[in-house]
Amino acid sequence: MRTNRILHYESILQMLGETGCPFCRFMKNFQSALLQDPGEKDIHHLCNFHAWGLAATQRAATAAQLFLNLVARQTDDSSPSRCDICVLLEIEEDRRAREFIGCLNNKLVAQWLRSQAVLCLIHGTKLKQGAPPVSASVIGGVMERYRSRLIEDLSRLRDDYQPDSAQWGLLGHVAEFLASQRGLHP
């Protein structure tokens, strides 16, 4: 994980004009902000991924203080604890899903869903579970349209392979579709 420029988004709707799954992009930015500047967050436990992410993205003095707090609190108790960053990510992800579902009747959201929407399987499935039946059907259609496009593009890449690394970006899009952006979901 590397340091990213943090953008301060107010709404998931701000991500609709970006490429890829808007939830992945929003949550990746949110996660980077948590790691680069945990601020007032009370961090008691980190998973492997977030401990290494913190080590890689923080300013050394800030990371040292947070790690010092964690090491000082460490005991021989090996009972599993949930990662505080993972918990904050889940809360924010749920909040953004509810926000989006609440805006499904918005004209611009409906237009985005019809024309250029891309949702990964994880976020699309979460949205379908929380949406009314008609909206869930629309979200399912978005996911199927993108899945079909990926299948077509992958088949073309496999059959017409050229050692052109520019085409390899497709593999990253497929990985995001299947599992969300790297580092968001275990």
CA angle (110 as vertex; 113, 150 as ends), nearest 5:
5
pLDDT given for residue 54 in this prediction: 86
pLDDT given for residue 2 in this prediction: 47
One-letter identity of residue 125: T
Residue 149 pLDDT level (bands cut at 50, 70, 90): very high
Residue 184 lies inside a defined structural domain of this protein: no
Residue 172 lies inside a defined structural domain of this protein: yes
Query: Could you tell me which residue, 122 or 6, shows the higher pLDDT?
Result: 122
Residue 56 lies inside a defined structural domain of this protein: yes
H or E, element range at 147: helix 133-159
Query: In the block, which residue shows the tokens 């008609």?
Result: 134
- Structural domain boundaries, residue 66: 16-179
Count of the separate structural domains present in the chain: 1
pLDDT at 115 over 80: yes
pLDDT given for residue 163 in this prediction: 65
27-66 burial, b for 16+ CB within 10 Å, e for fewer? bbbbbbbbbbebeeeebebbeebbbebbeebbeeeebeeb
pLDDT at 171 over 50: yes
Residue 52 and residue 1 in contact, taking contact as beta carbons nearer than 8 Å: yes
Residue 127 lies inside a defined structural domain of this protein: yes
Query: Could you tell me which residue, 77 or 14, shows the higher pLDDT?
Result: 14
Helix axes 84-102, 22-36, angle to 10 degrees: 140
Which distant-in-sequence residues (6+ apart) come within 8 Å of 3 by Cβ? 32, 36, 56, 57
Residues listed for the chain: 186
For residue 111, the 8-state DSSP code is H
- Whole-angstrom CA distances from 132 to 84, 114, 151 are 31, 17, 28
Residue 165 lies inside a defined structural domain of this protein: yes
Residue 5 lies inside a defined structural domain of this protein: no
pLDDT at 78 over 70: no
pLDDT given for residue 125 in this prediction: 95
Query: Could you tell me which residue, 133 or 81, shows the higher pLDDT?
Result: 133
pLDDT given for residue 1 in this prediction: 45
Residue 91 lies inside a defined structural domain of this protein: yes
Closest by Cα among 90, 86, 93, 54 to 71: 54
Residue 162 lies inside a defined structural domain of this protein: yes
Helix axes 60-73, 48-57, angle to 10 degrees: 150
pTM for this prediction: 0.85
pLDDT given for residue 6 in this prediction: 79
